[in-house]
């Protein structure tokens, strides 16, 4: 499902629309950290 609130980093709804600003920032930081680790792991396997 597409995201209409603009908070999703992928454009798909994560349910982040109901988070406070502080909760959103924390979720986004965690997401970006996990994505960075996944990209690093992927590049090591290439």
More reliable by pLDDT, 32 or 1: 32
What is the extent of the structural domain holding 11?
Answer: 1-46
The answer, yes or no, to whether residue 42 has pLDDT greater than 80, is no
- Residue pair 16/5 in contact (Cβ under 8 Å)? The answer is yes
pLDDT at 17 over 70: yes
How far lies 39's CA from each of 34, 35, 36, 44, in Å?
9, 6, 5, 9
Q: What was the pLDDT predicted at 46?
A: 67
Say what the pTM is: 0.74
Domain count, the chain: 1
pLDDT for the residue numbered 32:
95
- Region 11-29: mean pLDDT is 95
């Amino acid at each position: 499902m597409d995201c209409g609130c603009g908070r999703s980093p992928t454009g798909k709804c994560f349910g982040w629309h109901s988070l406070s600003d502080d909760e959103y920032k924390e979720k986004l930081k965690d997401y970006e950290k996990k994505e960075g680790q996944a990209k690093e792991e992927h590049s090591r396997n290439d």
